[in-house]
Amino acid sequence: MEKKETTILMQKYELGRMLGQGTFAKVYRARNLRSGQNIAIKIIDKQKVLSVGLIDQIKREISVMRLVRHPNVVQLYEVMASKTKIYFAMEYVKGGELFNKVAKGKLKEDVARKYFQQLIGAVDFCHSRGVYHRDIKPENLLLDENGDLKVSDFGLSALCESRRQDGLLHTTCGTPAYVAPEVINRKGYDGAKADIWSCGVVLFVLLAGFLPFQEANLMEMYRKISKGEFRCPHWFPPDVRKLLSKILNPNPSTRIDVAKLKENTWFKKGFKTIEAIHPPPDGTKISVSDDVQAAFAASETSPMRPTCLNAFHIISHSPGFDLSGLFEEGRSQRPEARFTTTKPASMIVSKLEEIAELERFKVMKKGGKVTLQGSKEGRKGQLAIDAEIFEVTPSFFVVEVNKAAGDTFEYKNFCNQDLKPSLKDIVWKWQGSEQQQQQPQSL
């Protein structure tokens, strides 16, 4: 019988079967050749993440996982790189996602409470280290061979340094059904309070077997989230109902915090405090290879790249899905236009540069944004226009055009008489326009 070939990675790890994959990464089971320990290897395509500007997200994920060493958090052991890949060597969690367990039906109260206690313990530890997860859901909660919970996937997490001068976070991210109302609001939010809301949704799901906020119509779902409208099933004990009403409180300033939650009678039953974890195996620190550092350095000088859109961006950029009316009235907005295209980001930028040259505008590029700066002095100063490019898929883009400075009348004239006609070859559809220039490739 022919022996199956094995793949040895970086002369240290023997790769096994694939555990899962996403757009930019694959996760494999692996074995440490020196210690024999089973681990998980996350293999990230370096070129893909560089091209769409995700290297900062990877840097943040590494920083976060270095800070949060806790028994109920998946551990990162080592980060390495080759010419084309970045490798995360991580703790292997044998039991799979908590989601798979809930998908079979609701859990018993004691089991749900144990998982919830472990989740809160891990989240509380993360917050004490200035880390906010921002995407807590059963798919990101794993179970080990002992049935203990492990929080994973810190790709959307934020560090306290990410807060602006107002002391709040401002990036709208997460998974729609689990996200706090203040995150959708886009005015700024407390990362700890937003995480607690998501934990409350998880608790509801564990005990009910379904989501508290679930509607086919997204606007209706967000309306219910914004008002905290949900109904507990008849089998929920009264003390659980009371606790959930405090966690799923749409007002973050009066929502229960972790300290108060830990004092709750229902929560405290059988609760065990777990200490922070010991150092990584072999007494080593989490190492980040020189190749990874080089990839990070390269990203600082890499060409302009579009911003990747998550579910919230897609919803908020869609006509009819402006959610701001749910939260505030009379909100003033800058004049803006938006179009979709199947042309690559490089072509979009080239087209904008052509228009700028023709109209004698200066061009400035940063991240996924192109700014056109007029040379003429108008009634309200020089006209400046921002065009931000968002990638929905590698073959489908949304470009948002905003007036950054100058007179609104001049801006509208420029858009209607110069910008739109000049972009007609690359535009699939302007927002609100009935005419489609060409059919998009399938999403």
Q: What is the pLDDT of residues 150-200, one digit of tens each?
A: 998 876 665 554 554 555 555 555 578 898 888 877 667 788 999 999 999
For each of the domains in the chain, give its residue range(s) and CATH number, in order of start.
Answer: 7-92 (3.30.200.20), 98-268 (1.10.510.10), 307-430 (3.30.310.80)
Give the lowest-confidence range in 53-62, 142-151, 352-361: 53-62
Nearest to 207 by CA among 185, 233, 187, 188: 233
183, amino acid identity: V
Category of 413 on φ-ψ map: left (φ > 0), alpha (ψ -120 to 50) or beta: alpha
The 3-state DSSP composition of the chain as helix, strand, coil percent (nearest 5) reads: 35, 25, 40
pLDDT of 398: 81
pLDDT of 110: 95
Runs of H (alpha helix) within 168-257: 181-185, 191-208, 218-227, 238-247
Question: If you average pLDDT over residues 40-59, what whole number do you get?
Answer: 77
Residue 141 has pLDDT above 90, yes or no: yes
In percent, the amount of the chain with pLDDT more than 90 equals 28
Residues 148/118, Cβ–Cβ less than 8 Å: yes
- 124, 135, 195, 291: the active-site residue: 135
Residues 231/289, Cβ–Cβ less than 8 Å: no
Tokens for 27? 């996760």
Residue 297 has pLDDT above 90, yes or no: no
Tokens for 80? 């390495």
Confidence of residue 241 (pLDDT cuts 50, 70, 90): very high
Supply the mean pLDDT for the chain. Answer: 78
Nearest to 261 by CA among 240, 279, 231: 240
The question of whether 153 is a catalytic residue gets the answer no
Greatest alpha-carbon pair distance for the chain in Å reads 83
Residue 329 has pLDDT above 70, yes or no: no
